Structure 1
Amino acid sequence: MRAARDAWLVFEDEAGFTLTPPTTRTWARRGHTPVVHVRGRSRRRLSVAALLCYKPGHPTRLIHRPRADPRRDGRKSFAWTDYRDLLQAAHQQLGGNMVLVWDNLNTHLAAGMRRYITDRDWLTAYQLPSYAPDLNPVEGIWSVLRRTTLANRAFADPHELITAVRRGLRQLQYRSNVLDGCLSGTGLPWPHYNDTTH
């Protein structure tokens, strides 16, 4: 395999966030039920693509890119060129080969994306099995974000949502124990390079 030798193992996933907050358990005085007030029912959405990057002997890295949709229906997500740019930026930051593991999203399988991967000797890509989000540690990042930074919080406008998501992801970038725990939670083995074959 071209990029598998001494490479970063990189998992990718995308998630969408809206102005309507995720709810989670909280506490309150008996008889005083907490209420989260939401302004309107906006469908504006923020999409975020994230990479969790693992390599023995190196701290785990979280690289992310938000994409706010200016349209009112808020339904446009990442194009294959957005993923290309994210992977190129990650390669520059990591400074090494990458083995990419992601799902079967049609954008990941686009002809342009396949050509881009084929033409890069530092990049090898694998698809996860269908309907197997439990094998992707990036799902753990979204779960942590929704249970902490975004939980029980109503956002007045898209800018406030973007700011909160970026802040939450930046905080997670410095919590290597949480990033490592996301991989452990999948049950997948920690990457190692004992194999000497090419």
Structure 2
Amino acid sequence: MTHAKREKAEIDFWDASGFRADAVQGRTWAVKGVTLVVAVPGQRQSISAASAVNSKGGFWFAVYSGGMNGELFVALLKRMMKGRRRPIHLVLDGLPAHKTRGVRDDVDSLKGRLTLHFLPGDAPDLNPDELVWSYNKRTGVARSPLRSGEKLADRVHDQLSDIAARPELVRSFFRHQVSPIFLTYA
């Protein structure tokens, strides 16, 4: 991380997650003795999303269909890098799609504008971007089922756009009890 400071680079944390329309809907209440029935959508939509956060409140995201592979990861990295002037040090998990030959070749072709740093496999709590998904699932799709005709991709995109518009919320993910160490590198 001292190398990133010397380069005046941004330090971003990356993660991806999946969403389902028929996921658990959270909790609710009912009058004692009355069985509560919660309406859930009959649709089985699923969508994936990736995001990158930094301790200054920066937030980038993309919504996509299917699982992550090396080719998709390279395409998402290119979208994330577009318009960025400063070098980026990207901290991410060790998903095999992040370590393919195509990814390595693409990162090498950027000549130092992007550097990847991999977290240990047993340490998702060191990635503040994990809290984006926790927040999004706890306050979004899980709080209210999709309405008839509503698309899960649109809902997830809107929720992530709301997070992007709130840099103070993004910064709060870095104040979580397990990740204050990264504030020193901001």
2:54 aligned partner: 53
2:80 aligned partner: 90
- Superposed, 1:146-157 pairs within 5 Å as 146-155=137-146
1:12 to 11, 14, 17: 14
User: Structure 1 unaligned runs (5+)?
Assistant: 69-75, 194-198
Instruction: Find out whether 1:170 has 2:170 as its counterpart.
Output: no
Q: How far is 1:27 from its partner?
A: 4.0
Contact preservation (8 Å) 1:67, 1:78: no
CA-to-aligned-CA distance 1:118-148 (integer Å, 9 cap, x gap): 2212111110011211011111010111111
2:122 to 124, 131, 146: 131
Q: How far is 1:45 from its partner?
A: 2.0
Instruction: Find out whether 1:105 has 2:95 as its counterpart.
Output: yes
Q: How much identity, in percent, do the aligned residues show?
A: 27
1:160 aligned partner: 151
Q: In the aligned structure 1, how far is the partner of 2:116 from the partner of 2:159?
A: 28
Between 1:182-191 and 1:107-116, the stretch displaced more is 182-191
The letter for the 1-side match of 2:19 is: F
Contact preservation (8 Å) 1:9, 1:191: no
2:60 aligned partner: 63
Q: How far is 1:41 from its partner?
A: 7.1
- Give 1 or 2: higher helix fraction: 2
The letter for the 1-side match of 2:25 is: T
Q: TM-score, normalised by structure 1?
A: 0.79
Q: In the aligned structure 1, how far is the partner of 2:145 from the partner of 2:10?
A: 37
CA-to-aligned-CA distance 1:39-83 (integer Å, 9 cap, x gap): 4473x42011111134xxxx4221111112xxxxxxx41222222
Q: How far is 1:92 from its partner?
A: 2.2
Between 1:162-171 and 1:86-95, the stretch displaced more is 86-95
- Computed over aligned residues only, the root mean square deviation of the Cα atoms, in angstroms, reads 2.4
Contact preservation (8 Å) 1:19, 1:158: no
Q: In the aligned structure 1, how far is the partner of 2:105 from the partner of 2:148?
A: 38
- Three-state SS of the structure 1 residue aligned to 2:182 is coil
The letter for the 2-side match of 1:99 is: H
1:35 aligned partner: 37
User: Structure 2 unaligned runs (5+)?
Assistant: none
2:25 aligned partner: 23
Q: In the aligned structure 2, how far is the partner of 1:100 from the partner of 1:156?
A: 37
Q: How far is 1:117 from its partner?
A: 1.2
Q: Cα–Cα, structure 1 residues 29 and 46, in superposed 2: closer, same or farther, change >3 Å? A: same
